[in-house]
Amino acid sequence: MLKLGIRVSSSSSSGRGHFERCLEIRRYINEKVFWFLDGESKFIKDKISKLDELYYENGKNTYDSLRKFMINNYLNCVLVDSYHINCKEIYNINNKIPIMAIIDKNIITKANIVICPQPIKEPNIKGTKYLCGPKYAPISNKFVSKDHKNKIKNKILISFGSYDSLGITLNAIKAVKNLVIDKSSSADIVITLAEESPIIDQVKGLIKNFSNFQLVLDSKNMEDIYKYCNIAIGAPGLSYLERMASGLPSLLIPQNKTHESLIDMWVKLGRGFRAENSINSIQKNLKFLLFNDKLRKELIKIGENLVDGKGAKRIANEIINMVKQND
């Protein structure tokens, strides 16, 4: 029987993306799952199955509770999704328990299986199996859509995760605030954030006198927002893969060094379009994307072909098979 432990980043600085992709994998696991989080989170507590057990560590780079479970052989597989946890240290706790790691950049890590849903070449390293590329994007299949008849022209989404502690959303708002599409119309803007975001009051202040801005808090149906927007301004993480599956072309802006590398990869492959975190850069590149129908259609087609919404199921099957082979 599978006894899976998941150590996942869950702090506000890490955002909700790490948890969301682990949750999607968990949907294809029939047995109880043991979650190990950075700290308490009502959002996550409300999301996980009542069948599961939830444990809180003392910080984003600790794993004392997970260690106890591994030492006592309460688990037979561990999935790690965190930029702050050293998988080699986890592996050394009990090397009889197979380790899987989800990463976005540094693919050289100590684990039995390494999953990277980004467009990188799978390395050949003895003892580690690599599952790389958008084929393994652990997103919900509800985002997959090739029907774009409901998209509204010049409807722009601004979305940098739930918290956006860096405040890139603020620059994006300023960039599109006075963006004139033609002589008779301006763009309609949808902004998504969590109610707990540290920039929420600043966002509300910036848009309060503008009727063409809509602020959506704690959205439970991002697929519907993607369905109606025809351009997004956002980061290159999990949500970018969701937008690709939805046929929503994006202007990509990095939130950290990992994002810088990811955007470089997508752009070099001709599968991404970028801007820097400045009002001038966002406005200039957004205009180019808005008025370039050919580029938008190319990005839509590329996204639809790369992300099929079956990545989470593929990963779950790998977990199940690995445990069977290890028994």
pLDDT at 201: 97
Poorest-pLDDT segment among 108-112, 137-141, 209-213: 108-112
For domain 142-306, the CATH superfamily is Glycogen Phosphorylase B; (3.40.50.2000)
- Cα separation, 45 vs 143, in Å, equals 23
As a whole number, mean pLDDT of residues 114-131 equals 87
The two tokens of residue 194 are 């969590």
Residue 158 has pLDDT above 90, yes or no: yes
Share of the chain residues as helix, strand and coil, in percent rounded to the nearest 5? 40, 20, 45
Partnered with residue 81 across adjacent β-strands are: 8
pLDDT at 184: 55
Residue 13 has pLDDT above 70, yes or no: no
CATH architecture of the domain with range 4-140+309-326? 3-Layer(aba) Sandwich (3.40)
User: SS in 3 state form for 71-138?
Assistant: HCCCCCEEEEECCCCCHHHHHHHCCCCCEEEECCCCCCCCCCEEEECCCCCCCCCCCCEEEECHHHCC
Hey, how many other C-beta atoms are within 10 angstroms of the C-beta on 124? 7
Residue 26 has pLDDT above 90, yes or no: yes
pLDDT in tens, 77-122: 999 999 888 888 998 999 999 999 999 876 667 899 999 999 887 8
Question: Judging by DSSP bridges, how do beta strands 231-234 and 155-159 pair with one another?
Answer: parallel
What is the Cα 136 distance to its own chain's centre?
Answer: 13
> Where do you find CATH 3.40.50.2000 in the chain?
142-306
Residue 220 has pLDDT above 90, yes or no: no
Q: What is the mean pLDDT of the chain?
A: 91
- Cα separation, 130 vs 78, in Å, equals 16
- Cα separation, 168 vs 235, in Å, equals 10
One-letter amino acid of 218 = D
pLDDT at 15: 72
> Where do you find CATH 3.40.50.11190 in the chain?
4-140+309-326
pTM reported for the whole predicted model: 0.90
Residue 312 has pLDDT above 60, yes or no: yes
In our burial notation (b when 16+ CB lie closer than 10 A, e otherwise), range 209-225 reads: eeebbebbeeeeebbeb
The 8-class DSSP code of residue 27 comes to: T
